[in-house]
Structure 1
Amino acid sequence: MVLDLNALKEWGDVIRSSFRIVLVWALAWLALAMIRKLLRALKAHIVSRAGEMHDSMHDSVHDLRRVETLMNVFRYAANIVLVGIAVMLTLGTIGISITPILATAGVAGIAVGFGAQSLVKDFFTGLFLLIENQISEGDIIEAAGKSGYVERVTLRHVRIRDYDGSVHFIPNSMITTVTNRSRGYAYAVIDINVRRQEDLDHIFTLMHGISDDMRNNPAIGVDILEDLDIGGVEKVEDASIALRCRIKVRPGKQWRIRREFLRRMKAALDTAEQVKSAA
């Protein structure tokens, strides 16, 4: 009879422990499901607000990418924390003391921390880069001495591809200054050298005419936001004069507009030279 009572007690303890373990993991699963649902609702709210605030599709897509990246980071962190708590509670339920484990983890954490300071700095820097909206996928940036198109942004690194196709992986801890050329608008800054004998008023007239033709061109006119802004004479040398102007364009289009303007300016100067020679 005593053996039967002891066996029943042991079975009762096993059942209670099993019930507690199932309850812990069920609560953890429920908490994760609620967090995922909350994050989805928060994402939908942020995206809808962003759509109301921004008129252009480019800005809406930009905000959607940023929100998606942040949501993935928060979801990953929540999974790590809740699973870790569930594992510790499970170990405590089955009779394994977690105090030595926590002490060992603390000592190991200190040792690893000294060797992984750059990794921790990468994560914190990457988090602030995302929260402050300094970099997003699809931007054209310059950071850590490299420039190019942003293909991927993580908490660990930023991956960019430059003009010749080379891919650069930049750890976030190395990024101290970010030059983003894809926000709102850009200027195609153009320098033109002409002979000192040239009539500057005539040159300025040619420049305005080229700008007007480009704005009226359906292929490239959509990328130009304002008329040509002529800064004037930038430099005077013995045989030439440097003129500077700029055109306000959509972000990322400044290089294309600059090259097209220079091509057309070269053709216009050649034509003017031929007319002078014929006269």
Structure 2
Amino acid sequence: MQTSTTPFTSWESTLTWLAGPPLRIVLIVVGALVLRWVVLRAIRTVVDRAVERADDHERTSLARALDVASGVTEERRRQRALTTGSLLRSIATFTIAAVAVLTVMAELGLALAPLLTSAGIGGVALGFGAQSLVKDFLSGIFMIIEDQYGVGDVVDTGEATGTVEEVTLRVTRLRDATGVVWFIRNGEIVRIGNKSQGWAVAPVDVPVASDENPHRVIPILNEMLADLAADEAWSDVLLETPTVAGVEGVSGGTMTLRIFVRTRPGEQYAIPREIRERAKSALDAAGVRGPILAPYAGPEV
């Protein structure tokens, strides 16, 4: 007598059915959950170590000064590590879930070939329609991972120059000097000029009379610059004592002396005004004459 294989007609048939696809489906789901837990734990461990290095890593005084100047602080490293970890967790979860769903569908006897073919055709059509969106997302991912810029940086994207207010995977939001907010798609950014990393150089031109002796004027300016560097209000802004490069040009009754100032990024706009004010006071006190202007001849008759 042949035993019936229809499930739930007997204990033997029920156990045989449960040991088949249902058990394999449960094992697939459990295996996917365990694999996801292991992968997320590994990602979390890597991120925690990166955060710990950002919090506890010892740096030399020069490296610390450069970090402060560039804005690449421990908090910024920590935020980048957390953002990258969140991105990796999302990718891992999606990949494991997709593979698990397809495997369960195969166990249920569903034909995957037509589904994958339809998905492939739909994916190609969607890819053509959303290729710019994919490009924006990929560009945004690499911008975050590589830390090309962050919130608060002053950047030149080619389309606009301004302060970064928000960075997402799809767009970057800038606010320029006039207050206009620019929304720039990450995929459209071909080049990035970050004015808030490393250091900045501010050239300052000081005009004096062309018949003044530069060997007399330059020491006066150097003394003024040394006093500026010793001033506590500006010592944190300057990365080194400014120097007078020399005579930049002589035109008409004007001799132009150029000063180079290496500052923290973002401070290259305020320090030139302070230098010009101090240079004016120092040169006036030393009796150095300003540019010689040609007399006004009046309108032509």
The TM-score with structure 1 as length reference comes to 0.82
Does the Cα contact within 8 Å between 1:144 and 1:170 map onto a contact in 2?
A: no
Q: For 2:148, which of 134, 144, 148 is the aligned residue?
A: 134
Q: For 1:25, which of 17, 25, 29 is the aligned residue?
A: 29
Counterpart in the other structure of 1:231: 245
Does the alignment pair 1:177 with 2:191?
yes
Quote the Cα distance in structure 2 between the aligned partners of 1:167 and 1:270: 44
Quote the Cα distance in structure 1 between the aligned partners of 2:26 and 2:261: 66
Does the Cα contact within 8 Å between 2:248 and 2:258 map onto a contact in 1?
A: yes
Q: For 2:44, which of 40, 45, 60 is the aligned residue?
A: 40
> Following TM superposition, by how much is the alpha carbon of 1:106 offset from its aligned partner in structure 2, in angstroms?
0.6
Taking only the aligned residue pairs, the percentage that are identical comes to: 32
Counterpart in the other structure of 2:294: none
Does the Cα contact within 8 Å between 2:212 and 2:288 map onto a contact in 1?
A: no
Deviations 1:26-82 (A, max 9, x none): 322222222222122212333444524575264323322332232222222112211
Does the alignment pair 1:6 with 2:6?
yes
Deviations 1:202-233 (A, max 9, x none): 44234323322222222221121211122222
Counterpart in the other structure of 1:189: 203
Aligned counterparts, 1:156-167, within 5 A: 156-167=170-181
**Closer, same or farther in 2 for the Cα pair 1:200/1:80, shift >3 Å?**
same
Q: For 1:151, which of 142, 160, 165 is the aligned residue?
A: 165
Structure with greater Cα Rg: 2
Amino acid at match of 1:256: A
Amino acid at match of 2:274: E
**Closer, same or farther in 2 for the Cα pair 1:227/1:109, shift >3 Å?**
same
Runs of 5+ consecutive residues of structure 2 not aligned to the other structure: 291-301
Q: For 1:100, which of 114, 128, 144 is the aligned residue?
A: 114
Quote the Cα distance in structure 1 between the aligned partners of 2:126 and 2:244: 58
Quote the Cα distance in structure 2 between the aligned partners of 1:175 and 1:116: 17
Size of the aligned set, in residue pairs, is 276
**Closer, same or farther in 2 for the Cα pair 1:264/1:237, shift >3 Å?**
same
Quote the Cα distance in structure 2 between the aligned partners of 1:20 and 1:119: 38
SS at structure 2 position matched to 1:165: coil
Quote the Cα distance in structure 2 between the aligned partners of 1:25 and 1:273: 87
Quote the Cα distance in structure 1 between the aligned partners of 2:288 and 2:243: 27
Counterpart in the other structure of 2:75: 61
Counterpart in the other structure of 1:216: 230
Quote the Cα distance in structure 2 between the aligned partners of 1:7 and 1:91: 20
**Closer, same or farther in 2 for the Cα pair 1:11/1:166, shift >3 Å?**
farther
**Closer, same or farther in 2 for the Cα pair 1:178/1:104, shift >3 Å?**
same
The TM-score with structure 2 as length reference comes to 0.77
Amino acid at match of 2:111: S
Amino acid at match of 1:39: I
Runs of 5+ consecutive residues of structure 1 not aligned to the other structure: none
Quote the Cα distance in structure 2 between the aligned partners of 1:265 and 1:26: 75
Q: Which moved more, 1:103-112 or 1:92-101?
A: 92-101
Quote the Cα distance in structure 2 between the aligned partners of 1:67 and 1:227: 35
Quote the Cα distance in structure 2 between the aligned partners of 1:34 and 1:151: 36
Q: For 1:90, which of 104, 107, 132 is the aligned residue?
A: 104
SS at structure 2 position matched to 1:193: strand
**Closer, same or farther in 2 for the Cα pair 1:218/1:14, shift >3 Å?**
same
> Following TM superposition, by how much is the alpha carbon of 1:15 offset from its aligned partner in structure 2, in angstroms?
7.7
Does the Cα contact within 8 Å between 1:65 and 1:136 map onto a contact in 2?
A: no
SS at structure 1 position matched to 2:126: helix
**Closer, same or farther in 2 for the Cα pair 1:210/1:15, shift >3 Å?**
farther
SS at structure 2 position matched to 1:226: coil
